[in-house]
Structure 1
Amino acid sequence: MTDSESLSSEGAEKVVVQAPNLPLMVHAQYVKDISFENPHAPHSLRAGLETPRMDVNITLDARALEDDKIKSLYEVVLRVAARAERKEQTVYVAEVLYAVCVSLPNVPEEHHHPVLLVEVPKLAFPYARKILADLTQDGGFSPLMLGPVDFHSMYLSRFAAKDDSQKSN
């Protein structure tokens, strides 16, 4: 359908539907980098071993992209890294960098930062989580099932602390 398209059926009244102006437009989603290390296989895959201790880190990066045709174009990269250890020995290390290219044509510039570091990661995280679960399963382990992430709270804790330190100076 186009931005404004007529919908009709035989004998029905003609209705015009206007597409809403969405705050952001997704241009591409992709795996930017992926890594899996299984340094002690096949010994680390034996049955009956204790469950490894997990350490998961999530980081975000956003940068503006230059484009002659698209205004306010950005790349947001969600990095999800997981390390499994058993008795101080690395069982596996998995990392996914999942990127999304978006434009924010209908968002005032002062709101770009929170949209890029809260709303875009909310869209990207389910994909990165699925890729990481498949990656760990393909490495011979149970799929790593990550719970939901509160990107809004992450944003507030990171940038509210920065604002507080700037105000105290």
Structure 2
Amino acid sequence: MAEANGNDAQPNNGVPALNAMVQYIKDFSFENPNAPRSLGPQSKAPNISIQVNVNAKQVAEADFEVEILLEGSAGEGADLLFKFELDYAGIFRLQNIAASDQHPVIMIECPRLLFPFARQIVADAVRNGGFPPLYIDPIDFASLYRQKMAEVAATGAPATAPN
């Protein structure tokens, strides 16, 4: 009797599926502009700022590239301790998912799968820069998606699928 290893090219009998095909760093920057002064004791806790953005585009019939862009910094102006920019992406294959459901799957579930890896890259870079690791709090991509869709609805522009 043959055993299946999950890599067979057989159809999944109409069952919806989301598969991460590959994930990768597209671009990454970490700056420690005031080292070594920034590595000494600080008189107050730094202001930490983090921005998140999600982009997606279709790259094949059922494949989508989804990117999480994380930008952050600790400190401000002359007291800047560090800053980073990470563009982390993955290729996801959607099978048997209705067209009306694809946009939320791509913009919520795909970044949710990528986030733990992007979070670890940032934490390691901050630690390797001489600071305690920065563990970004989990992100509610569903809430971000609803907020973005509300903004789109308020402007009257149609929500479009990734292109």
State yes or no: 1:138 paired with 2:128.
yes
- Contact in 1 for aligned 2:14/2:96 (Cα 8 Å): no
- Contact in 2 for aligned 1:51/1:86 (Cα 8 Å): no
Q: TM-score, normalised by structure 2?
A: 0.83
Identity rate, percent = 32
Q: Which residue of 2 aligns with 1:76?
A: 66
Q: Which residue of 1 aligns with 2:108?
A: 118
- Letter of the structure 1 residue corresponding to residue 54 of structure 2: L
* 1:81-127 deviations in Å (ceiling 9; x for gaps): 11111565322111211101011111112211111110001101111
Deviation at 1:133, TM superposition (A): 0.4
The change in CA–CA distance for 1:48 and 1:93 in structure 2 (over 3 A counts) is closer
The change in CA–CA distance for 1:165 and 1:86 in structure 2 (over 3 A counts) is closer
Q: Which residue of 1 aligns with 2:46?
A: 52
The change in CA–CA distance for 1:106 and 1:53 in structure 2 (over 3 A counts) is same
Q: Which has the higher strand share?
A: 1
Tell me the secondary structure at the aligned position of residue 152 of structure 1.
helix
Distance 2:14 2:124 in 1: 35
- Letter of the structure 1 residue corresponding to residue 41 of structure 2: A
Distance 1:19 1:43 in 2: 61
- Contact in 1 for aligned 2:16/2:97 (Cα 8 Å): no
Distance 2:149 2:111 in 1: 16
Q: TM-score, normalised by structure 1?
A: 0.80
Q: How many residues align?
A: 151
**Structure 1: runs of 5 or more not aligned:** 6-17
Distance 2:113 2:13 in 1: 20
Distance 2:53 2:96 in 1: 26
What's the C-alpha RMSD, in Å, of the aligned pairs?
Answer: 2.4
The change in CA–CA distance for 1:20 and 1:140 in structure 2 (over 3 A counts) is farther
State yes or no: 1:161 paired with 2:151.
yes
| Greater mean alpha carbon deviation, residues 56-65 or residues 40-49 | 40-49
**Structure 2: runs of 5 or more not aligned:** 158-163
